[in-house]
């Protein structure tokens, strides 16, 4: 097992908006924790029609939702009010404490919660450390703060090995070398 495995997402998809939440609900998922920037909207953008519709859909499914962001309160509170959900700001991801607090507030547990985010070293690693299923999505927009741009370079390395491990696993399942 590679040291990089701790950063590998459970699921890696193009967009938050491609996740089949109806199917996940049928499999027992009752709560979804989201990052905001580049997961739901471009960095710093307000909630758009697509993100508002997603939260409305989840609430109609009677799923609990929560925003978990390392951003300051004004950014997170504003977005949360637009999508009608609760939030935790300055979450200190990848620390476990606020992932656990989010589950407590939603009334869910590790088995019935999933996390959706766009960064390996904060979002995915924190979810994995907490024992929550993680979904890594591709960033919505390339414009990001410099510290995130630098982290992305390291993420590319981890994702290279992640994809390589998926290919090995697929070949093993297919019975080829």
What are the start-end ranges of the E strands in 37-164?
A: 64-68, 86-88, 113-117, 133-137
pLDDT score, position 77: 98
162 within some domain = no
Helix 49-60, helix 73-83: angle, nearest 10: 60
pLDDT score, position 12: 94
In CATH, what number is assigned to the domain containing residue 39?
A: 3.40.50.1000
pLDDT score, position 149: 64
13 within some domain = yes
> Helix (H, G, I), strand (E, B), or coil: what is residue 41?
strand
Residue with tokens 């080829």: 176
pTM for this model (two decimals):
0.86
9 within some domain = yes
Characterize the bridge pairing of strands 31-34 and 86-88.
unpaired
122 within some domain = yes
pLDDT score, position 168: 76
* Number of separate domains in the chain: 1
21 within some domain = yes
169 within some domain = no
29 within some domain = yes
* Run of H or E residues at 31: strand 31-34
| Mean pLDDT for back-to-back runs of 10 residues, the chain (177 residues) | 82 96 97 96 94 98 97 97 98 97 98 96 95 95 64 77 79 67
pLDDT score, position 156: 80
Do 167 and 161 contact (CB within 8 A), yes or no?
A: no
- Which residue range is the domain that position 58 belongs to? 3-143
The closest of 36, 30, 44 to 87, measured between CA atoms, is: 36
pLDDT score, position 176: 58
Q: Give 131: exposed, middle or buried? Use CB within 10 Å, 0-12, 13-18, 19+.
A: middle
14 within some domain = yes
Residue with tokens 């009752």: 30
């Amino acid at each position: 097992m590679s040291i990089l495995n701790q950063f590998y997402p459970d699921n890696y998809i193009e967009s938050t908006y491609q996740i089949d939440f109806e199917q996940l609900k049928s499999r027992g998922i009752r709560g979804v924790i989201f990052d905001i920037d580049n997961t739901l909207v471009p960095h710093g953008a307000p909630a758009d029609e697509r993100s508002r519709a997603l939260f409305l859909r989840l609430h109609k499914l009677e799923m609990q939702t929560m925003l978990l962001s390392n951003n300051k309160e004004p950014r997170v509170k504003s977005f949360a009010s637009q999508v009608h959900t609760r939030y935790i700001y300055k979450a200190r991801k990848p620390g476990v404490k606020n992932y656990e607090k989010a589950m407590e507030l939603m009334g869910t547990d590790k088995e019935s919660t999933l996390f959706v985010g766009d960064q390996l070293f904060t979002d995915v690693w924190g979810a994995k450390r907490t024992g929550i299923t993680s979904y890594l999505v591709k960033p919505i927009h390339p414009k990001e703060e410099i510290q995130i741009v630098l982290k992305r370079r390291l993420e590319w390395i981890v994702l290279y090995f992640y994809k390589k491990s998926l290919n090995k696993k697929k070949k093993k399942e297919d019975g080829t070398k």
